[in-house]
Structure 1
Amino acid sequence: MTIALFSDIHANLPAFEAMLQDMDSRKPDAVYCLGDLVGYNVWPNEVIAEIRKRGIATLKGNHDEKVEKLKTTADSLKEPGKKYAYHLIDGEGRAYLKTLPAHIRLEYKLNDSPLSLVFAHGSTRSIDEYVLVDMDENYLLEMMDEANADLLFVGHSHKPYHRILTTGNGHYKHVINIGSVGKPKDGDPRGCYVLLTISDSSSVAEKDSIQVSFIRFEYDVEKAAQAIEKSILPVEFADALRKGV
């Protein structure tokens, strides 16, 4: 079974469309989004509409959460600054974002052995927590045990990695940050998503039985950057897209 996972689109429609085209060509069996559909660019409504059209199971990201208490007026749509990206979201989109879940869990039983996958935006403890590649191993194992997660998939930091931890009983746990579709921060301006392959032999007892592929894709960065520059969003958002930071 192949599962596509993506996160942190941040209203970057050119990147999202390029990712979908690449993903569709690979024909995954299931697709999940780990949140942050909005913020930083001018196409939040188009991104939300496509997610809903496709029926993609989606988590609430910290930027999606910001919309909940936002009050939009005619004046707020003219004020320069970061919040403009959230004021663009229409009523239907806001209602959708409010109802998104915090976590998704998949439970497998392969060859009579359980395998638990947990998806979170930041971490299983907080939507805003960064699960970075150098996070303390004991803290991470404690959090994963608490969440009953053998494989933990997160977004939020926009920095992709696959880290394998060894438990006290000699089993393996996997932590995967799936990177960002629309706002990479690892020095590579290309978008990123993950393809996970699970076979009937996948197991916590075999380190290499879980296959994680990071897919980088090209998109029209200039179109996305110029859309920011033509709006009242901060111009540094456009520079960040060009540099992948």
Structure 2
Amino acid sequence: MKIALFSDVHANLPAFKAMLEDLDKQAPDAVYCLGDLIGYNVWPNEVIAEIRRRGIATLAGNHDLKVENLITTPQSLTESGKKYAYHLVEQHHREYLLTLPAHIRLEFKSDSEKLNIVMAHGSTRSVDEYTLFDTEEKHVLEMMEEASADLLFVGHSHKPYHRIMESNAGVSKHVINLGSVGKPKDGDTRGCYVMLTINKSSSLLNLESIKVEFRRVAYDLDKATKGILESPLPDEFAQVLIEAR
């Protein structure tokens, strides 16, 4: 089974379209989004509409939740500043964002064991908590134990990695950060998403039986930065895309 997972689009429509084009060519059996559809760019409605049109199961990211209790006036749509990105979101899409879950859990039964997959935006404990490659191993394992997670998929930091740890029971535990489709921070300007491949023989005792592929996708960076520069958003948001840090 092939599962596509992505996160942190941040209203970057050119990057999102390029990612979807590549994703469709991979013909995954399922697709999941780990949140942060909005913020930092000017196409939140187009991104949300496509997510909804495709019926992609999606989590709430910390930026998605910023539309809660947001009051938009004609003036707020002309004033410069970071909040402009959230005021762009249409009311019916705001309502959608505020109904998204915090976690998605999947259970797969292989020939010899169960594989529990848990998805969260930041961590299983908080949408705002970073689960980084160098986060203390004990902390991550405790968190995964609480969530009954064998494979934990997260976003939020915009820095992709696949970390394998050994639990007290002597089995491998996998933490995968999906990176970011629309706002990479790992020095690579291309969007990033993950293809997970598992089969009936996949096991926590066999690392080769669980395949995690990071796919990088180039997109029209000029169009993405132009959207920012021609809007009331801070110009620094465009520079971040160029530098990818």
Q: Under TM normalisation by the shorter chain, which class is it?
A: over 0.9
SS of residue matched to 2:187: coil
Report Cα offsets for 1:81-105 as digits up to 9, x if no partner. 0000000000111010010000000
2:103·2:120 contact (CA, 8 Å) conserved in 1?
Answer: yes
Q: CA deviation at 1:112?
A: 4.1
SS of residue matched to 2:213: strand
Q: CA deviation at 1:243?
A: 1.2
**Please, what is the CA RMSD of the aligned residues?**
0.6
Matching residue of 2:168: 168
* Distance (whole Å) between structure 2 residues aligned to residue 91 and residue 138 of structure 1: 42
Matching residue of 1:106: 106
Q: CA deviation at 1:75?
A: 1.2
Unaligned runs of 5+ in 2: none
- Worse-matched range after superposition: 72-81 or 178-187: 72-81
Q: CA deviation at 1:154?
A: 0.1
* Distance (whole Å) between structure 2 residues aligned to residue 202 and residue 112 of structure 1: 9
* Distance (whole Å) between structure 2 residues aligned to residue 209 and residue 135 of structure 1: 25
Matching residue of 1:10: 10
Matching residue of 1:146: 146
* TM-score between both structures, scaled by the size of structure 2: 0.99
Q: CA deviation at 1:206?
A: 1.5
2:109·2:200 contact (CA, 8 Å) conserved in 1?
Answer: no
1:222·1:242 contact (CA, 8 Å) conserved in 2?
Answer: no
Matching residue of 1:178: 178
SS of residue matched to 1:128: coil
Q: Give the paired residue count.
A: 245
* Distance (whole Å) between structure 2 residues aligned to residue 180 and residue 143 of structure 1: 23
Q: CA deviation at 1:70?
A: 0.9
Matched letter for residue 23 of structure 1: L
SS of residue matched to 2:175: strand
Unaligned runs of 5+ in 1: none
Q: CA deviation at 1:169?
A: 2.0
Report Cα offsets for 1:47-74 as digits up to 9, x if no partner. 0000000000000000000111211011
* Distance (whole Å) between structure 2 residues aligned to residue 141 and residue 107 of structure 1: 19
2:112·2:203 contact (CA, 8 Å) conserved in 1?
Answer: no
Q: CA deviation at 1:167?
A: 1.1
* Distance (whole Å) between structure 1 residues aligned to residue 199 and residue 221 of structure 2: 36
Report Cα offsets for 1:95-143 as digits up to 9, x if no partner. 1001000000000111141110000000000000000000000111000
Question: Is 2:181 the counterpart of 1:195?
Answer: no
Instruction: Quote the sequence identity (%).
Output: 67
2:160·2:177 contact (CA, 8 Å) conserved in 1?
Answer: yes
Matched letter for residue 196 of structure 2: L
SS of residue matched to 2:41: coil
SS of residue matched to 1:62: coil
Alignment of 1:39-188 (within 5 A): 39-188=39-188
Question: Is 2:244 the counterpart of 1:244?
Answer: yes
SS of residue matched to 1:69: coil
SS of residue matched to 1:5: strand
1:171·1:206 contact (CA, 8 Å) conserved in 2?
Answer: no
Q: CA deviation at 1:46?
A: 0.2
